[in-house]
Amino acid sequence: MIDFPARKARRRSLALFAALGLYVSIASAQLPNDVPSLAPMIEKVSPAVVNIAVSGSVKVDNPLAQDEFLRKFFDFDGQNPNGKREIEAAGSGVIVDAKKGYILTNHHVVENAEKITVTLSDNRSLSAKVVGSDEGSDLAVLQVKDETLIQMPFGDSGKLRVGDYVVAIGNPFGFSNTVTSGIVSALGRSGINRDAYEDFIQTDASINPGNSGGALVNLRGELVGINSAIISRSGGNIGIGFAIPVNMARSIMDQLVMFGSVSRGLLGVNIDDITPDLAATYGLHDNSGALVKIVGPNSAAEHAGIQVGDVIVSVNEHTVRDSGSLKAAIGLLRPGEKVAVGVIRDGHPVKINATLGEAPAKVVRAAPADENRGSAPLDPAFEGAELANNESGKVPGLLVTRVEPDSPAANRGLLSGDVITKVNRLRVHNLGEAKKAIEGSRSIILEVQRGGRNQLILMR
Domain end marker among 308, 340, 355:
355
Q: What is the pLDDT of residue 351?
A: 94
Residues 126 and 49 in one domain: yes
Average pLDDT over the chain, rounded to an integer: 79
Total structural domains in the chain? Answer: 4
Do the bridges between strand 102-105 and strand 241-245 make them parallel or antiparallel, or are there none, so unpaired?
unpaired
Q: Tell whether 242 and 180 lie within a shared domain.
A: yes
* pLDDT average, residue stretch 340-353: 91
Confidence class of residue 235 from pLDDT cuts 50, 70 and 90?
low
The answer to the question of residue 6 being in a domain is: no
Assigned domain for 14 exists: no
Q: Is residue 197 one of the residues assigned to a domain?
A: yes
pLDDT grade for 261, boundaries at 50, 70 and 90:
confident
**Residue 446 shares a structural domain with residue 421:** yes
* Least confidently predicted of 1-5, 166-170, 297-301: 1-5
Which pLDDT score, from 0 to 100, does residue 182 have? 92
- Residue type at 460? R
User: What range defines the domain where residue 324 resides?
Assistant: 269-355
348 classed as catalytic: no
Do 165 and 209 belong to one domain? yes
**Which of 138, 273, 322, 418 is flagged as catalytic?**
138
Q: Is the pLDDT of residue 363 over 50?
A: no
Q: Is the pLDDT of residue 12 over 70?
A: no
Q: Give the domain CATH number at 419.
A: 2.30.42.10
- Asked whether residue 5 is assigned to any structural domain, the reply reads no
Choose from 26-30, 60-64, 237-241 the range with maximum mean pLDDT: 237-241
354 vs 288: CA distance, rounded Å: 21
Of the residues 259, 282, 311, the one at which a domain ends = 259
What local confidence, expressed as pLDDT, does residue 286 receive? 85
Comparing 6-10, 83-87, 237-241, the range with the smallest average pLDDT is 6-10
pTM of the model: 0.63
In a domain, 205, yes or no: yes
Q: Report if residue 22 sits inside a domain.
A: no
Task: Calculate mean pLDDT across residues 259-273.
Answer: 84
pLDDT band at 143 (very low <50, low <70, confident <90, very high): very high
Give the separation between CA 205 and CA 228, rounded to whole angstroms. 13
Looking at the structure, do residues 99 and 190 belong to the same domain, yes or no? no
Residue 7 counted as domain residue: no
Q: How confident is the model at residue 277, as a pLDDT?
A: 84
Which one is catalytic: 212, 228, 299, 325? 212
Residue 342: partners with Cβ closer than 8 Å, 6 or more residues away:
312, 313, 314, 315, 317, 320, 349, 350, 351, 352
Catalytic residue among 108, 157, 322, 416: 108
CA–CA separation, 418 vs 452, rounded Å? 10
Whether residue 250 is found in the same domain as residue 189? yes
The predicted pLDDT at position 157 comes to 92
Q: 84: which strand partners?
A: 59
Percent of the chain exceeding pLDDT 90 equals 29
Judge if 273 and 255 occupy the same domain. Answer: no
Same structural domain, 86 and 161: no
Residues 62 and 137 occupy one common structural domain:
yes
Q: Are residues 130 and 165 in the same domain?
A: no
Examine the residue annotation and report whether 318 is marked as an active-site residue of this protein. Answer: no
Classify residue 339: in a domain, yes or no. yes
Residue 97 exposure: Cα atoms within 13 Å on the Cβ side: 16
Same domain, 253 and 290: no
Q: Domain boundary residue among 210, 240, 259?
A: 259
CATH, residue 131: 2.40.10.10
Task: Reply yes or no on whether 108 is catalytic.
Answer: yes
